[in-house]
Amino acid sequence: GCELFFAQVTGTVSKEKRVEDVPVIHDFLKVFPKELPGLLPPRQVEFRIDLISGATPVARVPYRLAPSELKELPEQLKELSEKGFIRPSS
């Protein structure tokens, strides 16, 4: 006997995801601006926290997370870091 392989390949064009496609946003489109304004411009005052020399940080036990939350945490931190919203502390 002979082996026969059959494959059908079709090209699909995936349309870009749009904000309007999210059900909650679709229901309240009037509330959201058409264009997002972007990040705020740089401010003249840089926010900072002055540290006290020799002071030790407060040591607390972190609160418990469910396994699903514990799995999600590093993914969220990575995403926020890549977007520049957070950065590692020094």
pLDDT tens string 5-23: 666 666 666 677 776 777 8
Contact 81, 87 (CB under 8 A): yes
Q: What pLDDT does residue 74 have?
A: 92
Residue type, 52: I
pLDDT > 70 fraction of the chain, expressed in percent and rounded: 81
Q: What pLDDT does residue 66 have?
A: 92
More confident residue, 36 or 58: 58
Query: Domain boundaries in the chain?
Result: 19-83
d(CA 26, CA 32): 10
Confidence band for 72, pLDDT divided at 50, 70 and 90: very high
d(CA 78, CA 62): 19
Supply the mean pLDDT for the chain: 80
